[in-house]
Amino acid sequence: MSDFDAIDAQIDRVLRHDTSLRPSNSNESLFLNSVKNNLRNVFKYRNSELRRTVVNVVPVDKINDEVKRKRSALKSKCEGEAYDVSQRDLFVFELLAWFKHSFFSWFDKPRCDRCSNLEMRFDSYQKPTAEEISGAASKVECYKCSSCLQHYRFPRYNDPLKLLHTRQGRCGEWANCFSAILYALDFDARFILEFGDHVWVEVYSDSQKRWIHCDPCENAIDSPLMYEHGWNKQLTYCLAFSCNEIQDVTWRYTSKYKEVMRRRAHQCREHWVSHLMLKVSEILQAGYSQEQKQKFMERRLNELVEFIWIPNQEKVVSENELKGRQSGSLLWRIQRGEVDSNITNKEVGHVFHMTNKETKIAYNCNKDVYKFGDKTIKGWENGVFSYCNLFRKVEHDWKMCYLSRCESLTPQTGTVIWKINFADVTCWTEIDLQLKCQTYGSGVIDFLLTANPEAKQFQLKPNTVNTIKRSDVSNTCVEFVIKATLYGGDSDVGWQHAQLFRQSMLESMLAVFVA
């Protein structure tokens, strides 16, 4: 008998005796089954072997060292200001990045290990074997190679202990495994089920006295409106599951309250949902001390205050929450309607103002930072004057990163412009520019330098040092405008065939673009 079996039996007893808790339609029956299945899954986090395995696979000491380094840097930066950054909150931030970039991997389609064909296609669902059932696999996806007809089985495991070994899957596996890791490391975590087919995690911050959204698939933290505004999801229910409660947290993830309520009106009775969750939470907390129950109640009351909707007062949607989904293949995301349809087109307006002291500008794509004299600018887009249809792509499987056009089945042109002003430089004889790039197939990157104010233009060669001498421009020249244009490319991945600042994620060297 599992830890949850006794809880399950008690829920059934309550349902038999309390007629108001019984489902009244098929939607409520499905809702109840989903509640019980997800609770059964989170009870697996109590496994003592799971805790031992997590301690062995998670580089806790290394993450703590990084947390201390960043906390120290933040403290120095905030000197003289209020400084109160929780070490545990920073640990979750670093743990999330490690899980995304170094531990778990996304599964779309397998590569045939016989002929290395990339086009293995979904063939059918099959029943799990006894061994797969032991890993709580409810179904198995079967793929077939289009060249040699070899088959590949992908069990959808639900056992977090199994996932610590397989380390791959889609959002269900990602959230399940990350929740289990948080639980094993003594964080209060909740598994979040969104009824429109996505899952993620929440972790409680003792310092902030609130639950914080974490999506391990996206390496996103504290961006709860991303699903509704970036992914265009039509939310109905977002339920939070832990070993001590079940909560309806939909109101954290929406700013369109009336639309959500209209959709929910055709699903389940609101009073029934509230009654069910309160009763199940009461059953889950039966074995806890009065002090612990009081803590759960205070958290819940604070959360309810957070959820209060004030008419005519809109939530502020951050820029990160407007982005479409990043994990998974483009076709898969298009089919799910979770791709941001807007092409990024922004005028940031940043200009590098050179002085006699500052003689070098360099960009490191791996760390995503500019070095400009003794200054550091984080984020490639924060150092440009303007850009259109461009983003920073990270290939975790190949350990490479670069700037490329936004994903599209029909690749469009992408541009980025940097401005360098040297009006404050007393004298200069020449400026060297080196712009690193990589193209494939029919992909092309053109570089053009314009010397203002006379607008004299120079075509720059990629991957080589371009020297502009003082004698090449007029005496009134005070500004260079460097424009990179990315276009061309073949097939539905043609957007990747023009790559700017391609760099290995294992390299720490700077890719100099202006020296």
What is the domain partition of the chain in residue ranges?
25-68+159-338, 109-155, 343-514
Q: pLDDT tier at 514 (50, 70, 90 boundaries)?
A: very low
pLDDT at 64: 94
268 as an active site residue: the answer is no
The residue type at 364: N
Architecture of domain 343-514: Sandwich (2.60)
497 as an active site residue: the answer is no
Strands 352-353 and 414-421, sheet pairing: parallel
Q: In this model, does residue 167 exceed pLDDT 90?
A: yes
Quickly list DSSP for 280-331: HHHHHTTTS-HHHHHHHHHHHHHHHHHH---TT-PPPPPSGGG----SS-HH
Q: How far apart are CA 60 and CA 421, in angstroms?
A: 45
| Angle between helix 26-42 and 3-17 (nearest 10) | 150
How many CB atoms neighbour CB 186 within 10 A?
A: 9
CATH class as words, domain 25-68+159-338: alpha beta
Mean pLDDT computed over every residue of the chain: 88
Question: What percent of the chain is modeled with pLDDT above 90?
Answer: 61
List the single range of 15-29, 190-204, 211-225, 365-379 with lowest mean pLDDT.
365-379
Which CATH number is correct for 109-155, 2.40.50, 1.10.260, 3.30.70, 2.20.25? 2.20.25
Q: Out of 89, 198, 268, 368, pick the active-site residue.
A: 198
Q: How far apart are CA 255 and CA 229, in angstroms?
A: 9
Q: How far apart are CA 189 and CA 41, in angstroms?
A: 13
CA 277 to chain centroid, in Å, comes to 29
Per residue in 391-413, pLDDT (tens digit) is: 888 887 678 899 999 877 667 88
Per residue in 330-360, pLDDT (tens digit) is: 656 765 767 664 556 677 889 999 887 767 8
Q: pLDDT tier at 309 (50, 70, 90 boundaries)?
A: confident
Q: Which of 7-11, 195-199, 371-375, 409-413 has maximum average pLDDT?
A: 7-11
Q: Out of 89, 188, 215, 368, pick the active-site residue.
A: 215
pLDDT at 226: 93
198 as an active site residue: the answer is yes
Q: pLDDT tier at 383 (50, 70, 90 boundaries)?
A: very high
Q: In this model, does residue 427 exceed pLDDT 60?
A: yes
List the single range of 98-102, 273-277, 320-324 with lowest mean pLDDT.
320-324
**What is the average pLDDT across 507-514?**
50
**What is the average pLDDT across 138-145?**
91
- For the record, the structure tokens of 165 come out as 């070994």
Q: How far apart are CA 32 and CA 34, in angstroms?
A: 5
Q: Out of 145, 171, 365, 406, pick the active-site residue.
A: 171
pLDDT at 73: 76
Q: In this model, does residue 312 exceed pLDDT 80?
A: no
- For the record, the structure tokens of 243 come out as 């070993």
